[in-house]
Amino acid sequence: MLSDSLRDFLGHIRLERGLSELTALAYKSDLELFLGYLDNELKLSDFSEVVRDDILDFLELGQADGLSSSTLARRLVSIKVFFRFLAFEKVISHDITEIMDGPRLWQVLPDFLGVSEVDSLLAVYSGKHELLAIRNCAILEVLYASGLRASELTSLRLDKVDFNEGYLRVLGKRDKERVVPFGQEASQAMLRYLREVRPKHDKSGVALEFFLSVNGRPLTRERIWMIVQDAARLAGIEKRIYPHLLRHSFATHLLNNGADLRVIQEMLGHASVETTQIYTHTDVNRMAQAHKQFHPRS
């Protein structure tokens, strides 16, 4: 059970690390909330099932509830220390939080990127002729155009992209498929990648995934993180950037331009109680219309 590992962790930090009772109580409070989210919202019973996006979604819910950046940063610290303990105790095979930048490096936990910041980010590889630049341009365009999680982008298959209709069929968390529109900018970037780059990477011609490494293998979530962070550095963006921030920017920009919140929630594939309580079925045509009308690059 999840609670058993939490009990072991609290005993560890009290007895072996000698942390104060006040610090232990802070860890306990943060982690009980997180474990409640895993249990009640995601129906998970094993830490090996948790992915990085689950943690980001948990923090995003707190952000939506109006929690301060310092509170969110403290929660992330608690989760990172806990997962380090789980990996050390062999409860999980590896620490999925290791690549996540520590909040000590963040001035704030940014809500989203401004439209001008997104434009700067997407301009980094636009018009370049190097193979990886063309691929990375398409990756950034798709992340922002469709609000995909990094894990959804890495698992996106060729046969799930419909250029005629402008839709992706995305396999989200817990293997739930949803349909998400993408605009003209993303379409052009993806088509260029398919013409000029992918055939050179998929020398065997049998790869199913849309985006590939130079060796013809599917990209990892870690590689997507690096691509986004490298682009932010080249764009001169000083915020700590990660793929989920583009997802949040996607939703925020649509909402700020008047898109219906329930349509956005369906595009994102949210599974939390807060979103499912106001969830209503939206057909594909309505999603496409909202995307075309309200997304800055559609």
Report the C-alpha gap between 206 and 209 in whole angstroms. Answer: 9
- In the structure encoding, which two tokens stand for residue 295, read together? 């997304």
> Does residue 270 have an active-site annotation?
yes
Establish whether 295 is a catalytic residue. no
- From 80, 244, 248, 295, the catalytic residue: 244
* Catalytic site includes residue 169: no
- Which residue of the set 52, 75, 80, 149 is catalytic? 149
* 80 catalytic residue (yes or no): no
Residue of 173, 192, 262, 286 marked catalytic: 173
Q: Give the active site residue among 75, 201, 247, 295.
A: 247
Q: Compute CA distances 139 → 88, 122, 193, 199, 224, whole Å.
A: 34, 10, 9, 16, 8
Place of tokens 């939390």: 272
Residue 247: active-site member: yes
Longest dimension (CA), the chain: 62
- Contacts of residue 160, Cβ cutoff 8 Å, sequence gap at least 6: 168, 169, 170, 171, 210
Our answer to whether residue 253 is catalytic in this structure is no
Q: What is the number of residues in the chain? A: 298
- Dig out the tokens for 14 from the structure: 């009290």
Cα Rg of the chain, angstroms: 20
Which entry of 43, 94, 203, 279 is annotated as an active-site residue? 279
Q: Helix 131-146 vs helix 184-196: angle between axes, to the nearest 10 degrees?
A: 150
What's the Cα-to-Cα distance from 274 to each of 112, 278, 287, rounded to whole Å? 20, 7, 20
| Cβ-contact 181, 292 below 8 angstroms | yes
Encoded tokens for 82 = 């806990």
Number of Cβ within a 10 Å radius of residue 113 = 23
Residue 190: both structure tokens together: 């993806």
Catalytic positions, written as ranges: 149, 173, 244, 247, 270, 279
